[in-house]
Each structure stands twice: as C-alpha cells, then as structure tokens.
Structure 1
Amino acid sequence: MSFEKAAADVKNLKALPGDKDLLELYGLYKQGTVGDADPSNKPGLLDLKGKAKFEAWSSRKGTSQADAQAAYIAKVQSLIDTIGLN
C-alpha cells in the first residue's frame, strides 16, 4: 500500500477511529508530509484541539519522513483490519 492510498483509505473507514488513533494518524501524516513541527507555530492555550494535534505531531520530531509514512501506512492497515472499509 502506498502512502497516498493509505491517506485516501483512511477517509473510507466504516467508522470513525477513536481520538487516540486520530491523533496518532495526524501526527504521522504531518511528519510524513511536512517533517518536524515548527515550535513557533504552536497553538495558544485555549485552542485545546489545535494543541492536541500539535503535540501529536511534535511527538514525532526526529522521525524521518519515510519512517513516518511507513508507520502511517501500518496504522491505516491495522485500522482497516479492525474497522473495515466502506
């Protein structure tokens, strides 16, 4: 499975994954496409959703884009195996 196919497949899961899984997917996707998060773009304290997403991404700091993409593909495959696709 390619990274692009995994990104498309995740939108066609039968059910929405839990918050933990969604944050993991977000962090891996951003690391795999952009690279390390820029600390100067950290959301404010009152933006709880943005802060959680930023922390999920910045927790991947130092992971190569190729490794992040491979981990993203593996995560999507495990979600497909447990939830299924439409």
Structure 2
Amino acid sequence: MSLEEQFKQVSDSVRNWKTKPADSENLALYSLYKQAIAGDVNIPEPSGMVENAKWKAWTSRKGISSDDAKKQYIELAGQLKGKYA
C-alpha cells in the first residue's frame, strides 16, 4: 500500500473514532493533516479562538514535507487509536 493510500485510510478511520481525542491531540492530528494536504500555512492568522489555535498548530509544522507529515500523522493516529477508536 502506498503512503498516500495508507494516509487516506488512516485519516478516514480517525473521523470515525468513537470518542474525540483531547484538544491537544486533536490539534496535533489536525496540524499534521493540514501540512500533509496543503503544505505550509497559506491563510492569514484568524481572530477566533478555536480557529487561531488550529492556525497556530498548523504553523508549528512549517517546513515539514507532505510525505513526512503523512508519516507522522499515521504514527500519531496509531498511538491514539487504542484510546479513542
């Protein structure tokens, strides 16, 4: 299975977990997902509290390649799966 296929499979399964991960874990997953699919942050900093937290988490991944972000996402999701799936 290619990295892209594995990433898609894992990201689809994360959306169907029984329980939502803790905020910090969810931000980590979100930021890796965004970095994997969109690359470095490409939008201005938002003002809303939730949106700003997501933006800052994504910004923290700046410079990570798409493939590395996918690998890190898959690894983190694997660590959290037993807790939330």
TM-score (norm 1): 0.87
Report % sequence identity.
Answer: 37
Q: Distance in 2 between matches of 1:8 and 1:69?
A: 13
Offset, 1:82: 2.6
Greater displacement, 53-62 / 13-22? 13-22
Structure 1 letter corresponding to 2:80: L
Count of aligned pairs between the two proteins: 81
SS in 1 for 2:18: coil
Gaps of 5+ in 2: none
Gaps of 5+ in 1: none
The CA RMSD measured in Å over matched residues stands at: 1.3
TM-score (norm 2): 0.88
1:1-86 matched pairs, under 5 angstroms: 2-38=6-42, 41-44=44-47, 47-84=48-85
Q: Distance in 2 between matches of 1:30 and 1:72?
A: 10
**Runs of 4+ with >3 A deviation:** none
SS in 2 for 1:2: helix
Q: Distance in 1 between matches of 2:83 and 2:21?
A: 10
Q: Distance in 2 between matches of 1:83 and 1:60?
A: 24
